[in-house]
């Protein structure tokens, strides 16, 4: 991990890794994180957040926040997702995360194949969360933050099992929407809510 992307860069060259969580779900914001790791304080166990258990993510999240040179988490709201579309909202959340860093990076490495509008050099890396440690760290922060939002949603809307399905379009979640209707936190531009609105449901 990292070697190919960090070649010929000086030791003090500051790279920010950027990733997101929550592009696919039917509810809630999309969350992005940016992390500049401290090369003198390596973190063991960094990986794509989807490959890690929840307890491992939580543990690594605390370490990342403690030892990184800088980190920031940002989001784009449900309203922004519906207004802009999910891709543009994701790029906006990424831009906000990078702009939220207290340390200015020399370069930004972004997971995926699209780049937000940034004032520093940037590179998009497909499957970067399993190739670059800083992106892995960002994926962990974004995932932990979005899961926290889902747990808060479950407390607020106990009829919906957000703590389990995390707002993805599972059979359980779709059944809940069918039974209880859609919530203010559901994305109006995503089906089935989009179709429900088109059919006159409020």
Task: Go through the domains of the chain in sequence order and give each one's CATH number.
Answer: 3-155 (3.30.420.10)
Residue in the block written with tokens 């003198």 = 40
Residues above pLDDT 90, as percent of the chain? 89
Query: CA–CA separation, 69 vs 54, rounded Å?
Result: 24
Say whether pLDDT at 6 is over 70: no
The C-alpha atoms of residue 46 and residue 139 are separated, in whole angstroms, by 10
Calpha distance 24→27 (Å, rounded): 9
In this structure, are strands 15-21 and 70-76 parallel, antiparallel, or unpaired? Answer: unpaired
Q: Minimum mean pLDDT among 1-10, 29-38, 74-83, 130-139: which range?
A: 1-10
Residues of the chain above pLDDT 70, percent: 96
Position 201 scores a pLDDT of 74
Give the model's pLDDT for residue 12: 83
- The pLDDT of residue 200: 79
What's the pLDDT at 52?
A: 95
**Which 8-state DSSP code applies to residue 126?**
T
Q: What's the pLDDT score for residue 128?
A: 93
Q: What is the mean pLDDT of the chain?
A: 95
Taking CA 161 as the corner, what is the angle to CA 177 and CA 49, rounded to the nearest 5 degrees? 115
Within 10 Å of residue 120's Cβ, how many Cβ atoms? 13
Q: How many Å apart are CA 39 and CA 42, to the nearest integer?
A: 6
Q: Give the contacts of 10 (CB within 8 A, at least 6 positions apart).
A: none
How many whole angstroms separate alpha carbon 185 and alpha carbon 179? 16
Residue with tokens 């020399």: 106
Whether the pLDDT of residue 9 is over 80: the answer is no
Can you name the residues that pair with 19 across neighbouring β-strands?
33
- Tens of pLDDT, residue by residue over 135-182, are 999 999 999 999 999 999 999 999 999 999 999 999 999 999 999 999
Query: Measured between alpha carbons, how far is 127 from 27 in angstroms, rounded to an integer?
Result: 24
Query: Where does 41-183 show beta strands of DSSP type E?
Result: 70-76, 107-111, 122-125
- Whether the per-residue pLDDT at 5 is higher than 70: the answer is no
Residue 202: per-residue pLDDT? 66
**Reported confidence tier of residue 26, pLDDT bands at 50, 70, 90:** very high
């Amino acid at each position: 991990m990292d070697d190919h992307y960090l070649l010929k860069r000086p030791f003090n060259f500051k790279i920010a890794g950027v990733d997101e969580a929550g592009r696919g779900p039917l509810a809630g914001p999309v969350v992005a994180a940016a992390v500049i790791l401290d090369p003198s304080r390596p973190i063991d166990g960094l990986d794509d957040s989807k490959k890690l258990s929840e307890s491992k993510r939580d543990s690594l999240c605390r370490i990342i926040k403690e030892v990184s040179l800088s980190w920031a988490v940002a989001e784009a709201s449900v309203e922004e997702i519906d207004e802009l579309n999910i891709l543009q909202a994701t790029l906006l959340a990424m831009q906000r995360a990078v702009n939220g860093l207290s340390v200015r990076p020399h370069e930004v490495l972004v997971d995926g194949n699209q780049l937000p509008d940034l004032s520093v050099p940037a590179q998009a890396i497909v499957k970067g969360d399993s190739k670059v440690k800083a992106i892995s760290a960002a994926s962990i922060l974004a995932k932990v933050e979005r899961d926290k939002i889902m747990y808060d949603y479950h407390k607020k809307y106990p009829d919906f099992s957000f703590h389990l399905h995390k707002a993805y379009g599972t059979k359980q979640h779709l059944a809940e929407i069918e039974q209880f209707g859609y919530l203010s936190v559901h994305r109006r531009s995503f089906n089935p809510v989009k179709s429900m609105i088109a059919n006159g449901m409020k």
